Amino acid sequence: GESTQGEGTAPMGCSSCAKGRFLPKHPYGQAAPGESALFEREINIVVADICPHKGNEAWCPESKGSTNTFGSKNHFDFAHPPAGFDNFYFAFTPTACSGEIEQRLSTMSQCAR
């Protein structure tokens, strides 16, 4: 994917990796839950595809550097969300993908890097 660094968006294009934690806050103002192990655990993620704006206008920004309906410039759909997940914000840092993930992406992904 293209880097959008410097525009307020992390460079998280297709086939990128990151690590992060869920924050006890929802994008739509719903009350956050109390203490939960969900917010203490660091998880690794892999971006398997991009967020298409058409048909998903509320969550996916229309263009690079713009925000979605909730003011976010990034949006992740979790294929296997952890127990207790409910569209919480996710604070993350882009990281290098492991060799194993790179290999799997090169043979399985239909993304263009």
**Residue-level pLDDT, tens digit, the chain, 113 residues:** 344 444 555 667 788 899 999 998 888 777 777 778 889 889 999 987 777 888 888 888 888 778 888 888 877 888 888 888 888 888 899 999 999 999 988 888 777 54
Residue 15 to residues 22, 47, 60, 61, 109: CA-CA distances in angstroms? 21, 5, 17, 18, 8
Of 99, 107, 103, 1, nearest in space to 47 by CA:
1
Determine the distance from the C-alpha atom of residue 111 to the mean position of all C-alpha atoms in its chain, rounded to a whole number: 16
Cα separation, 2 vs 18, whole angstroms:
16
E strand segments, the chain: 17-22, 43-46, 90-95
Residue 26: what pLDDT?
A: 83
Residue 62: what pLDDT?
A: 83
Q: Rounded to two decimals, what is the model's pTM? A: 0.74
The region, left, alpha or beta by phi > 0 then psi within -120 to 50, assigned to residue 8 is: left
Residue 4: what pLDDT?
A: 40
Residue 1: what pLDDT?
A: 39
